[in-house]
């Protein structure tokens, strides 16, 4: 499995937030040993100040840290629209807090002591998830931009098309000719870069799902 970790996008960064310098040092050595970049922080506030969501990565977080707690850090990340995968690493006495962190959106919870291989496997999964999330957001952003390129009338026609109306029915509703509707449909399909109505419907559903999320994520 270690070799699998080495195949991950080498631009990915693993962020470690833990107030114990010995743990930060050992985790840095472990993560760098499989060819991944790592940044360590003693305080959650330091991580939040320096973090940029542009490149893929994941966060290995101790929930019980001085100053801003792990839970508070998760809340700040959500407020800013960041969805970096968070792996909670917690001591036995911190289990209730770790459970709260999981409910707040952390993707995994590991109880100390954690074996090196188990942690690397979870890190690999976290990075892969972040890469998929970023690819999906990029695709959705492109879809939104395509729809925004439509004229007001084209968006209106598209709304009727995805609702299942025929060109004749749309023409009656808009009080325009059948040929006019067909011309709008052709332009819509070209601008949206699709060749079938089912694909157009699927694309519109993706756009609707994207626009209900925090716009800062785009």
Same domain, 118 and 197: no
Strand-pair partners of 88: 61, 109
Within a domain: 65: yes
Q: CATH number, domain at 153?
A: 1.10.10.10
pLDDT digits (tens, 9 = 90+) for 133-182: 888 888 888 898 999 999 999 999 999 999 999 999 999 999 999 999 99
The domain boundary residue, chosen from 134, 157, 192: 134
Same domain, 6 and 105: yes
Within a domain: 12: yes
d(CA 158, CA 165): 10
**Integer angstrom CA distances of residue 125 from 87, 119, 153:** 10, 10, 45
- Give the domain extent around 203: 149-217
Same domain, 44 and 113: yes
Which among 103, 77, 101 is positioned nearest to 90, based on CA atoms? Answer: 101
Percent of the chain with pLDDT strictly greater than 70: 90
Same domain, 106 and 52: yes
Highest mean pLDDT among 65-74, 89-98, 171-180 belongs to 171-180
The total of structural domains in the chain comes to: 2
Tokens of 206: 């993706």
Same domain, 114 and 197: no
pLDDT digits (tens, 9 = 90+) for 123-133: 999 999 999 88
The domain boundary residue, chosen from 67, 100, 134: 134
Same domain, 55 and 98: yes
Same domain, 83 and 173: no
Q: CATH number, domain at 48?
A: 3.40.50.2300
Within a domain: 143: no
Same domain, 119 and 154: no
Same domain, 169 and 84: no
The domain boundary residue, chosen from 134, 165, 183: 134
d(CA 67, CA 11): 30
Within a domain: 139: no
Same domain, 17 and 71: yes
Mean pLDDT of the chain: 86
């Amino acid at each position: 499995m270690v070799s699998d970790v080495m195949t991950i996008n080498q631009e990915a960064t693993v962020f470690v937030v833990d107030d114990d310098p010995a743990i930060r040092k050992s985790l840095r050595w472990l993560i760098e040993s499989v060819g991944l970049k790592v940044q360590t922080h003693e305080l959650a506030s330091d991580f939040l100040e320096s973090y940029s969501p542009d490149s893929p990565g994941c966060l290995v977080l101790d929930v019980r840290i001085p100053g801003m707690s792990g839970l508070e850090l998760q809340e700040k990340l959500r407020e800013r629209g960041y969805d970096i995968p968070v792996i909670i690493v917690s001591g036995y006495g911190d289990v209730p807090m770790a459970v709260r962190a999981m409910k707040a959106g952390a993707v995994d919870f590991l109880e100390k002591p954690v074996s090196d291989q188990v942690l690397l496997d979870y890190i690999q999964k976290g990075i892969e998830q972040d890469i998929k999330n970023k690819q999906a957001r990029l695709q959705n952003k492109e879809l939104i931009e395509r729809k925004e390129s439509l004229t007001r009338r084209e968006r209106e026609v598209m709304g009727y098309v995805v609702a299942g109306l025929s060109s004749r029915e749309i023409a009656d509703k808009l009080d325009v000719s059948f040929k006019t509707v067909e011309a709008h449909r052709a332009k819509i399909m070209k601008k949206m870069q699709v060749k079938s109505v089912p694909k157009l419907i699927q694309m519109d559903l993706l756009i609707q799902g994207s626009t209900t999320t925090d716009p800062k994520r785009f």
